[in-house]
Each structure stands twice: as structure tokens, then as C-alpha cells.
Structure 1
Amino acid sequence: MIDALVLAGSVNNGQLKNLSPEPYEALIKIGSIPMVLYVIRALRSNREVGRIVVVGPPGIKRELPADVIWLESGLTMMENIKKGNALMDSHYLVASSDIPLLTAGSVSGFLALCKELKDDVYFPLIPREVVEKTFPRAQRTYVTFREGVFTGGNLFLVNPQVVEQCLVIGQELVDLRKRVIALARRVGLPLLIKLLLRLLTLQEAQEKVSQMLNIKGRAIICPYPEVGMDIDKPADLEIICQAMGYDLRQSL
């Protein structure tokens, strides 16, 4: 069995605050249900998933099923990962609370792609054509590698033994994740040049990140677009509400 950690501590102080009065993004409703519960349902429906730990504010605790472990969130994502990581003994899933289209099937599919469990961190890359085929109006952040154009997903498989050493640089990389050029500068000029020329390979990027974090990282080309459909802005929420059969105005 694989345990799962759901990160639900993001304060609703970005673009979504104009749509919902909820203090935390995880509590923004789709239909009549907070978005975090859709993620939990997908994980609970998967027979490969064991314990589910949610790190979030006290207000989220009352929304959780009785068998879900709740930990109070801190000030940063890395602090929240550290809290959840303390309960883990072996490789476990990490999911953000804002991917409500996640399904039990996509969780199983991702785990199947990571089945060897020989590396420390597995991170999904979803091909642009896969996203646009299912969600043609989606506006995602894409990076071009020699192998193709990809967007990052929000479901990871991690080894708890390496998490502590990754937290500082990990936070920096998270802060830069939407700023492709700034991220490339951080990882070095040669990679920046190759990125701009669209010559950078997934293997080179994977090796550089692994070197920076002193871990073994593995990029997984993931055919499940729902893994990369996180909600950052109103347009994302509108697309996802429509995909789930809800009217955005009625949901909010």
C-alpha cells in the first residue's frame, strides 16, 4: 500500500479570492463540495492507497472523512510537506488539493509508471497535446524539451528519507516554477541556452535537478491530463467546473 499526503494549506489570496470568500483555496466549492474532497475521494477509491494525510487549516478538519488524518498547516508549502513527511515510512504520494479532476484510475496509472520505486522522487510531465485534446481552452505553463512540450503535474511519488535535505532548494524551485527563464537561470547557463534553443533533453534536466537536490529524480511522461489541471486562476476554475458538469456561478 502507498500512503498519500494532500497539501491543503494555500491561503486564498490570489486571483481566486475574487470568486470565492473561502479563506483557503482547498475550501473553494465546486458544486457544493470543497475541491479538496474530490482529491481525497479519488485517493480513497484507489485500492493501492493506504493512509491519507491532509495538511491544512483547522477549518478544513470538519470537512474530512473520519479515516483521514489531519495535521494543521504551517506558513509555507515546504513546512507542510515536512509535517506530513514525518508520518511516512516509505515512498508515498504527494498531491495538491486543487486537482479535483483526479481519478482513482489516474492515480493507479501514475503509480504503474513509477512501479520500480528505485528513485527518490517521481514527477509527472504531461504532453501539451494530451492536455489540449481534453481541455482545449486550458492555459497551462509549458516547457519545451527535445522530446516535446510538457506541463508539470501535481501528483508526485517521494521517498521520505530525502525530503528534509530538499526543502530549502525545493521551496526556491517551487517559487520559480511558473517563471521558466528564471528557473533555467537558477539551474545554470548551459541549460538556459539549451532550453531557449529547444535542445534540452528530459534526461539532462532530470540529472541537473537530481544533482541540485542530491537525490535520484525521475521525470515521468504522464498521459493523464487531470493530474496537471490545477486551479490557479478563474479561467482554470471555470474549465474544471464545466468538465464536472457544474455552473461556476452556482458553485460559488
Structure 2
Amino acid sequence: MVDAIVLAGGENNKALRQVSAATYEALIEIEGKPMVWYVVNTLAASPLVNRVFVAGPLAELAGCVLPGEPVLLPSGKSMMDTVVAGMRALGHQNKVLVVTADIPLISGEALTDFLRQCAGSEADVYYPIVSQDIVRRRFTTVKRTYVRLKEGIFTGGNVFLVKPAIVESCRDFAAQVVAQRKKPLNLCRLLGWSFIVKFLLGRLSLADITGRLSELLGITGQVVASSYAEIGMDVDKLSDLEMVRNEIARL
């Protein structure tokens, strides 16, 4: 079993502000419940998850009735500050599941598949990817940010499994990745100019990326191919929110 940290500190100051007055994106209502409720509910119900921590605005979260009575933590000034503080609060060095609060469609099956695939290899950090075909079959109208690699066309997931010991040393680089996560070319630039050339020629591979990260940061990374589109279905546009609300209303 693993402990989980839900990142719920993102302010609602972009596109979603047009349809919700909630101060934080995690608190945007979907069928009468805050978005973070659905993520916590899946984690609380998972036989592979032990404790659940939710990092975000304490006063607002305290007013929510969340499944399983998770431990509430204050969020930091940035996403990486929050991750670092969360790891310290856990008080151990076992691998931790980090999940963003904006994937309300995440299912127990998707979570179990990811964690079981992670258990098949040893690494410092694990990150899921989903092929474009899988996403489009599951969500026919949704628009995602995709990256064309040698192995195919993929989008990234919104969960990570990570060893707490590496978080501090990778903090600055990870913050840059988070800032550029919707811009594939900029992400390649972080790895080096040769990676930009490979990317533009369609020759950049998953092994190239994980190998370079190992060189730069001294860590081992493992990419996990998921068959579940919802693991990468974050809500950051009006069309995303509308689609998710329709999906949950049908449940």
C-alpha cells in the first residue's frame, strides 16, 4: 500500500473562473460536490492506498465533507513547494502517490493498473502516459496536449509515484517541467538542443527522455503506458468541465 497526496492548491484564476466563483479549482462544484471530492473518493476506496493527504486551502477544505476523512495540509506557494511539504508531513521514505485534484474521472481501475505496473520495476519516479488513440476513443471531443514520439503520440497523466528522497534535489527542474507542461517544444529545450532536433524529426524516444533525466538529475524514471484515458483527463478548460459534468451526471 502507498500513501497519497492530493494537490488541491491551484487557484481558480483562469478560464474556469468564467463559470465558477470558487476561489480554488479543486472546489469547483460538479453535481453538488467539489471536484476534489471525486479524486479523494477514488483514493479512499482503493485497496492499494493507505493514508490520503489533501494539500490546499485549509479553511475551505475544512468546510468540505471528504470521503475517508483525509489529513489536510496547507499548500505551498507553488506546486513543488506543496509536494516537498507534503513529503515531509508523511514522515517516511516509502514511495508516495501524488495526484492532482483536477482529474475527477479517475477510476479505481485506472489507479490499480498504474500502481501494479509500477510494482513490476524499480525506479525513483513513475509517470503514466496515454496514447492519443485511447484518449480519443474514450473522450471523442476532448482536446489534449500531445507529444509525438518514436513510439507513438501520447499525452501525460496527472499522477506520479515517487520516492520522497529525490524530491528536494529535483525540485527546481520539476518546477520548470510543470511550468512548461503544455508546451512540448519547451520541454525538449530543458533536455538540450539535440532533443529539440530529435523531437522535430519525430525520432525522440521514451528511452531518450528517461536516459537524459537520469543524466541530469541522477535519478531513474519509469514511463508507464496506461490504457485508461481518465488518468490524463485534467479539467483546465471550459469544454473539459462541461464534458466531465456530463460524464458524472450520467453515473
Q: CA deviation at 1:240?
A: 1.1
Q: CA deviation at 1:66?
A: 6.0
2:52 maps to 1:71: no
1:84–1:117 CA distance, 2 compared to 1 (3 A): farther
Distance 1:210 1:150 in 2: 21
2:19 maps to 1:15: no
2:162 maps to 1:163: no
1:48–1:204 CA distance, 2 compared to 1 (3 A): same
2:108 maps to 1:81: no
The letter for the 1-side match of 2:81 is: E
> Percent identical across equivalent pairs?
39
- The match for 1:222 among 196, 221, 226 is 226
SS in 2 for 1:157: strand
Distance 1:15 1:185 in 2: 27
Distance 2:164 2:91 in 1: 6
> In the TM superposition, what whole-angstrom CA distance separates every residue of 1:117-171 from its partner, at most 9, and x where no partner exists?
5100000010000000010111000001110000000011001111111111110
Q: CA deviation at 1:225?
A: 0.4
Partner in structure 2 of residue 213 of structure 1: 217
Partner in structure 2 of residue 233 of structure 1: 237
Distance 1:88 1:142 in 2: 36
SS in 1 for 2:21: coil
SS in 1 for 2:224: strand
2:185 maps to 1:185: no
Partner in structure 1 of residue 102 of structure 2: 98
Distance 2:67 2:45 in 1: 13
Contact kept in structure 2, 1:3 and 1:88, CA below 8 Å: no
1:198–1:88 CA distance, 2 compared to 1 (3 A): farther
Contact kept in structure 1, 2:41 and 2:68, CA below 8 Å: no
Distance 2:52 2:42 in 1: 11
Contact kept in structure 2, 1:88 and 1:160, CA below 8 Å: no
Distance 1:100 1:193 in 2: 36
Partner in structure 1 of residue 4 of structure 2: 4
2:207 maps to 1:203: yes
Q: CA deviation at 1:65?
A: 4.1
Partner in structure 1 of residue 63 of structure 2: 62
Distance 1:117 1:52 in 2: 24
Distance 1:79 1:146 in 2: 34
The letter for the 1-side match of 2:75 is: S
The letter for the 2-side match of 1:72 is: P
> In the TM superposition, what whole-angstrom CA distance separates every residue of 1:51-93 from its partner, at most 9, and x where no partner exists?
0011000211221346310011121101100111111520011
SS in 2 for 1:230: coil
Give the gaps of 5 or more residues in structure 1.
247-252
After TM superposition, which residue ranges in structure 1, 4 or more long, deviate above 3 angstroms? none
The two structures have a TM-score, normalised by structure 1, of: 0.95
The letter for the 1-side match of 2:54 is: V
The letter for the 2-side match of 1:109 is: D
Distance 2:213 2:237 in 1: 28
Partner in structure 2 of residue 144 of structure 1: 148
Q: CA deviation at 1:210?
A: 2.7
SS in 2 for 1:98: coil
Contact kept in structure 2, 1:28 and 1:34, CA below 8 Å: yes
The letter for the 1-side match of 2:173 is: I
1:5–1:117 CA distance, 2 compared to 1 (3 A): farther
SS in 2 for 1:4: strand
Give the gaps of 5 or more residues in structure 2.
none
Q: CA deviation at 1:188?
A: 0.8
SS in 2 for 1:164: helix
